[in-house]
Amino acid sequence: MATAKNSKSKKQLIDDDKLIEMYMNTVLEKNEAPKNVYLFCKENTVEEADFYSFFNSLDALKETIWVKFFENTINTLHKDTNYAGYENRNKLLSLYFTFFEILTLNRTYVYYALKDNKEWLRNLKQLTSLRNHFKDYIVDILKSAETEKDSKIKKVTTPLFSEGAWLQFLFILKFWLDDRSKGFEKTDVMIEKAVKATFDILDTTPLESLFDLGKFIWKERV
């Protein structure tokens, strides 16, 4: 009975956050990733069954680390009572600044995770889930400011904008990885300029004009 009780208590201490903490500590302390789930669990005195109740592989765990970074960012933003009233441009700026603050707190791990793939960030499997969450966020903030006047245009531009924002994020992430400036000041400047350029393009009237022209041409052909 004592053994069963200890086992139960142990299981109560294991959750996805704890497993992620163990994994990151293993990487940081050994400067290498565990070779497989068995070795990871053995080293951290975790039952494989407990691990698989949260993740089906180490790759899934690595993906979740990035999702946790993003969720922590969103939770931090929502603690600011003024955030909901921000314009989209400022919401995206806040997202970037907060997200990269969190990445900076975990820079050693992030640098290790990406150091061999900096030229091909888009192909990294561990960013797949983050990409989905990031693009959903972009779509949500665009919809929150959508008006009847521009709703048809947004249906065309939103998918392009969300994908473009993701590519922009990858560019900034690579810039941050290579940034050697004090306090990553150059990354802050890059974020401000990148977001400004993006919204300047999105806000220009040529997009509306092109949409109207496309409608006219389509109607004339029909």
State pLDDT tens for residues 98-123. Answer: 999 999 999 999 999 988 665 555 55
Instruction: Give yes or no for a contact between 195 and 93, defined as CB atoms under 8 angstroms apart.
Output: yes
Report pLDDT digits (tens) over 30-65. 999 999 999 999 999 999 999 999 999 999 999 999
Q: Residue 212: is its pLDDT beyond 70? A: no
Of residues 84, 196, 221, the one with CA closest to residue 141: 84
Mean pLDDT value across residues 71-97: 94
- C-alpha angle 5/10/12, rounded to 5°? 100
What pLDDT does residue 57 have?
97
- Give CA–CA dist 217/222, Å, rounded: 9
Q: What is the total residue count of the chain?
A: 222
Give CA separation, 175 vs 119, 120, 189, in Å.
Answer: 11, 13, 11
Q: What is the mean pLDDT of the chain?
A: 82
Q: Give pTM, 2 decimals.
A: 0.81
Lowest mean pLDDT among 57-71, 87-101, 119-133: 119-133
Handedness of CA 196, 201, 202, 206 (dihedral sign): positive
